Amino acid sequence: MRSLILFACIVMCGGAAAGDLAGADLKDALVGQTLQWWETDGWRYGHLTLLPDGRAEITLDAPVTKRDEGQWRISGSQLCTSWSSLRGRETKCYSVRRTAPDRFMTSGGNVFVVVAAGV
């Protein structure tokens, strides 16, 4: 069933399923979802939730356990986040590419996988 949905999106979206997401597509794909994330080098991973009101929640499960809250926004075709304690409130923005129906890769080297419906 998933491959049929992916095929329909590729046909109807003009192949955008494998490209960088922007604006509403980025919001539709990630906001309100519980995302498992990891860095491509594999040493840090956790969970992330982008809430509809612009708040964000993140856990770092390894190498040490941490939890933080912050803000998210979409700026053009990039997802921007800032955290209360992680990164010292610095805002970082990344482009996000869909690599499979529920899997995404950021330009910063993080992988996001939708694991459950959130809000």
CB 36 within 8 A of CB 47: yes
Fold of 22-117: Lipocalin (2.40.128)
What does the pLDDT average to over 90-118?
A: 89
What does the pLDDT average to over 91-98?
A: 94
Mean confidence (pLDDT) of the chain? 82
List pLDDT tens digits, range 16-57: 334 799 889 999 999 999 999 999 887 889 999 999 999 999
Residue bearing the bigger pLDDT, 14 or 107: 107
Residue bearing the bigger pLDDT, 75 or 88: 75
How many of the other CB atoms lie within 10 Å of CB of 112? 23
3-state secondary structure of 108: coil
Split at pLDDT 50, 70, 90, the class of 99 is very high
> What's the pTM value of the predicted model, to 2 decimals?
0.77
Q: Where are the domains of the chain?
A: 22-117
